[in-house]
A = this chain, B = another copy of it.
Amino acid sequence: MFEHRYVSDHLQKAVEAFSRLPGIGPKSALRMALYLLKQGEGESEDLAESILTLRRKVVYCSGCRMISDAPLCPVCSNPERDRGIICVVENVRDVMSIEHTGRYKGLYHVLGGIISPIDGIGPADLAVEPLLERLSKGGVREVILALSTTMEGETTCFYLYKKMASLAIKITTIARGVGFGDQLEYTDELTLGRSIENRQPFKPE
């Protein structure tokens, strides 16, 4: 790592702190620190304040475990959302992505990860029990498993399926296949093979 200590201990510390953020190397961190030095003090105060408020005020929704400013997130507290459907996702970002599509009107459940023995993450590390608790209260008719189509995602789907199989709830997964706008020649073999096996009736829209 580039050493700035001969210049300024304070600069060095700021560069180190920025470098711990994901995707930020020492060069970007230096650029960020020098930028802040050039701006008025208000810019740094605003950034520091936002960081502290973010960490101290943001909580996890008691319903779906999504991040939220209130005990119940805007989705869970919205009376227009369909409380009969729960979409299970790995993380907060997945909720954002699905919300961004504007195509889903049910609730969510954030697992906080997926089963990954190689990373030492087992079912006990995920919000599986809270999910089963939510389902035990009744009123849910469908659970959508919207997890990555990786080995870990499939394992987690299977585990959740087994846990929920005894409940009278429909369990679905998001559709898999060739992405819209994808060219066949660049689609991997597994996806293409399964897409042919799972072919569907053509519906002109």
Contacts and interface: CB of A to CB of B under 8 A. Distances in A.
Interface residues of A, number: 56
A16 B51 CA distance: 11
A128 interface: no
Interface string A12-40: 01101110111110001011111111000
Nearest to A8: B69
A121 interface: no
A55 interface: yes
Given A44-B51, A96-B4, A99-B6, A35 B11 contact: no
A7 B60 CA distance: 11
B67 A54 contact: no
Contact of A48 (B30, B48, B96): B48
A23 B28 contact: yes
Nearest to A33: B54
A125 interface: no
A197 interface: no
Contacts of A6: 74, 99
A205 interface: no
Interface of A: 2, 4, 6-11, 13-14, 16-18, 20-24, 28, 30-37, 41, 43-58, 66-69, 73-74, 92-93, 95-96, 99-100
The 9 lowest CB-CB distance pairs between A and B, nearest first, are A44-B55, A48-B48, A17-B50, A14-B54, A14-B50, A17-B47, A21-B32, A48-B51, A8-B69
